[in-house]
Amino acid sequence: MEISLYGSKSLYLKGKSVGIWIDPKKENLELEGKIIFFDKAEDNFLGLETGDRVVIWGPGEYEVSGVEIYGTKVGNGLMTILQFEEIKLGWISTDNIDLNDKKKERLAECDVLMIKSVGEIKNIWELVKGMGINYLIVTNLSDEDKKKLLDMADMEETAVKETLKLEKSSLPEVMEVVILQPK
C-alpha cells in the first residue's frame, strides 16, 4: 500500500486492488479511487454522480471492496478507522480532538494515524504521543507547524517523502512522523 498527499490535505491510499481518496479535490479524481471520504456532506462535490465509486461523509460501519470501515463523529468532524490490506489506518478531521477513552483505544490500534490539522499542533502531539501507532501523517500544515511537530517528535532530520510505502511486516517499532511532499 502507498499513501500520497495531493495539495495540502487530500490523501490517496493506493492498494493492490482498490484506491481510496480522503478529502479529494475534483482534479484529484482522475486517479482511480473506489472509496471516497469527505469531511462533511456539503463537501461532496460529486453529488449523486458517483458512478461505481462509494462516497462516505458520515459515521457508520461499512465494507467496500474488502475494506472494513468504521466512522464516528468527533467534535465537528469525523474519526474513521480503515482495515485495509493488513494495515489499520485512522483518520481524524476535526479541530476538536478531545477524544473519550474508547475512541483513543480505537486509534491506538492503528498502524497509521492521519490527521487533518485544523488546530494547534501541540494538541495533536499531546493526543498521539505514547499511543503506540507506527506512523503519524498530519496534513494541512504550515512550514512552521511542520518544524514544530518534528521538533516535538525529536525527529528534526526527517526527510520529506513523496510517498509512504507500507507493508505490515516492515512497520517501525517506534512512531515515526511522516511529512509528505504534495503532488
**CATH ID of 2-178, from 1.10.240.10, 3.40.50.970, 3.60.15.10, 3.40.1410.10:** 3.60.15.10
CB–CB of 62/69 below 8 Å? yes
What is the residue extent of each domain of the chain? 2-178
In 3D space, the residue among 12, 56, 6 whose CA is nearest the CA of residue 33 turns out to be 12
- Contacting residues for 100 by C-beta, under 8 A, at least 6 apart: none
**pLDDT tens series, the chain, 183 aa:** 999 999 988 999 999 989 999 988 888 877 788 888 887 655 666 655 567 788 888 899 999 999 999 999 888 788 999 999 999 999 998 766 678 889 889 999 999 999 988 778 888 898 888 899 999 999 988 999 999 999 999 998 887 899 999 999 999 999 999 999 999
In 3D space, the residue among 139, 110, 134 whose CA is nearest the CA of residue 124 turns out to be 139
